[in-house]
């Protein structure tokens, strides 16, 4: 099966060993500069060229290597409109436990762990050494940066971004910890309370980021 990685940037290049042998991988890009570049000797096509009969092979799937949720949504819509299908990329060293439901487009990088009884939406990204514990519900287009720790009974709504090394305190079945839609949890933050939709929180314990206005 051939896997096309949409986005030949840094994260896309990191996904070559996740997706499989490089002979079975190609990149997709909307940038003429990237299409003409030497991306680790991996061929790069435009989406339109790849979707043509000359480039596409039976069983081909696309994964989207872009962290920004809004951009990822747009690219996913373009892939669907082109007639291609989105697949999943799960590293050989990743652990996916019992009762885990992964939506289409999921990317689970090396040494990531999803323990048990977890429901995850579409186009989820779990970067290296991140983990999601039991009884969590994660929405669509959620991104976990490296070494994120999501403890049990946590709800993460659509489009949320959890920064490198962040730790989310465990909730309870009666009151799960909730990260609102589009929220951003900063690098190294320790989240002990719910995060409202669209909020940016940083620090230990995590608090809303206060913007300093010019005097």
Active site positions, annotated? 134
Number of H helices, E strands in the chain: 5, 23
89-90, strands of its sheet edge to edge: 89-90, 107-108, 125-126, 143-144, 161-162, 184-185, 200-202, 207-208
DSSP letters spanning 164-182: TT-EE----SSS-EEE-TT
CB 179 within 8 A of CB 191: yes
Nearest in space to 170 (alpha carbons), one of 188, 187, 186, 155: 155
């Amino acid at each position: 099966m051939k896997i096309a990685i949409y986005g030949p940037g840094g994260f896309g290049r990191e996904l070559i060993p996740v997706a499989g042998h490089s002979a079975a991988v190609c990149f997709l890009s909307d940038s003429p500069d990237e299409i003409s570049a030497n991306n680790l000797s991996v061929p790069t096509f435009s989406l339109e060229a790849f979707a043509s009969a000359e480039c596409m092979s039976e069983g081909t799937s696309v994964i989207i290597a872009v962290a920004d949720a809004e951009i990822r949504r747009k690219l996913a819509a373009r892939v669907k409109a082109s007639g291609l299908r989105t697949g999943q990329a799960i590293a050989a060293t990743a652990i996916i436990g019992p009762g885990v439901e992964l939506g289409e487009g999921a990317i689970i990088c090396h040494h990531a762990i999803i323990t048990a009884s977890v429901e995850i939406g579409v186009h989820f990204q779990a970067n290296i050494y991140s983990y999601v514990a039991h009884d969590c519900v994660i929405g669509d287009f959620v991104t976990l940066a490296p070494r994120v720790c999501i403890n049990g009974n946590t709800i993460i709504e659509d489009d949320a971004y959890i920064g490198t090394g962040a730790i989310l305190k465990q909730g309870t079945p009666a009151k799960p910890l909730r990260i609102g839609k589009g929220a951003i949890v900063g690098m190294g933050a320790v989240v002990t309370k719910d995060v409202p939709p669209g909020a940016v929180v940083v620090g230990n314990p995590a608090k809303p980021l206060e913007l300093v206005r010019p005097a």
